[in-house]
Amino acid sequence: MAENALRTVFLRRVGERRYVATNVRGGELTVGEDGDDFTPVELLLTAIAGCSAIDIDLITSRRAEPEKFEMVTTATKIRDEQGNRLEDIEVSIRITFPDGEGGDAAREVLPDAVKKTHDRLCTVSRTVQIGTPVTLNLG
């Protein structure tokens, strides 16, 4: 087992359908259903995009800084005999690099970076794709 393999997030209620998630480093994020807060589904979509973005950025920006780096994640929320869930999760990657040798090198490795994050590197999307059981415990 890898060192520091356990990941933990603490969630506390701060109001009606509003919560604050805190990581072990002290970072905080508000979660909710109303207003500007991200919903849990939006956080999942953000986590998928963010995880892949970090991988892709790490690989490509060694060659050139991107001129544009955007990722848009969409999914369809459904309710069926299996309960509420998302279908058709898709991440659209919109990255451009400057002209020149560095930009050419970044463009060249981009398809491989996308494949690597999808097939092996992104913990979040790999967990969703493989399907990992979730246990809820009282106490």
The pLDDT value given to residue 3: 65
The pLDDT value given to residue 34: 83
> In the CATH scheme, what is the code of domain 39-130?
3.30.300.20
pTM of the predicted model over 0.85: yes
Please write down the HEC assignment for all residues of the chain. CCCCCCCCEEEEEEECCEEEEEECCCCEEEEECCCCCECHHHHHHHHHHHHHHHHHHHHHCCCCCCCEEEEEEEEEEEEECCEEEEEEEEEEEEEECCCCHHHHHHHHHHHHHHHHHHHHHCHHHHHHHHCCCCCCCCC
The pLDDT value given to residue 65: 98
pLDDT in tens, the chain (139 residues): 556 799 999 999 999 999 999 999 999 999 999 889 999 999 999 999 999 999 999 999 999 999 999 999 999 999 999 999 999 999 999 999 999 999 999 999 999 999 999 999 999 999 999 999 999 999 8
Domain spans, the chain:
1-38, 39-130
